[in-house]
C-alpha cells in the first residue's frame, strides 16, 4: 500500500499532492512541503497510509477523538 501526501486547506479541503511507495520518500516530501510554507499558515500537509486515494481522503476527513492521557 502506498503513502499518500495531501495538502489540507481551511474547512478540510483536501488537495492530493503525490503517492510514494516507501515511508522515507513520503516523509521527505512532507518535510520539504512543510518547509516551503509559513508555520502558522492556513495550509497543512499530512501523510496517510491507505489502499486508495478514496480511503486516504476518508481517513483525513474523519474527525479524530481526543487522546486521553492518564486515568480519569
pTM: 0.80
What pLDDT, on the 0 to 100 scale, is given for residue 72? Answer: 57
At residue 16 the predicted structure's pLDDT band, cuts being 50, 70 and 90, is: very high
> Does 33 reside within a domain?
yes
pLDDT digits (tens, 9 = 90+) for 27-45: 999 999 988 876 666 778 9
Which domain does 34 fall in, by range? 3-61
> Does 70 reside within a domain?
no
What pLDDT, on the 0 to 100 scale, is given for residue 14? Answer: 92
Chain-wide mean pLDDT for the chain? 87
> Does 50 reside within a domain?
yes
> Does 10 reside within a domain?
yes
> Does 71 reside within a domain?
no
> Does 68 reside within a domain?
no
Q: Which residues of 37-68 are buried (b: 16+ CB within 10 A; e: fewer)?
A: eeeeeeeebebbebeeeeebbeebeeeeeeee
Number of separate domains in the chain: 1
Amino acid at each position: 500500500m502506498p503513502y499518500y501526501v495531501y495538502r489540507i486547506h481551511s474547512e478540510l479541503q483536501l488537495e492530493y499532492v503525490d503517492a510514494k511507495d516507501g515511508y522515507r520518500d513520503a516523509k521527505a516530501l512532507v518535510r520539504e512541503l512543510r518547509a516551503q510554507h509559513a508555520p502558522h499558515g492556513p495550509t497543512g500537509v499530512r501523510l496517510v497510509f491507505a489502499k486508495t486515494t478514496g480511503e486516504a481522503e476518508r481517513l483525513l476527513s474523519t474527525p479524530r477523538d481526543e487522546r486521553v492521557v492518564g486515568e480519569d
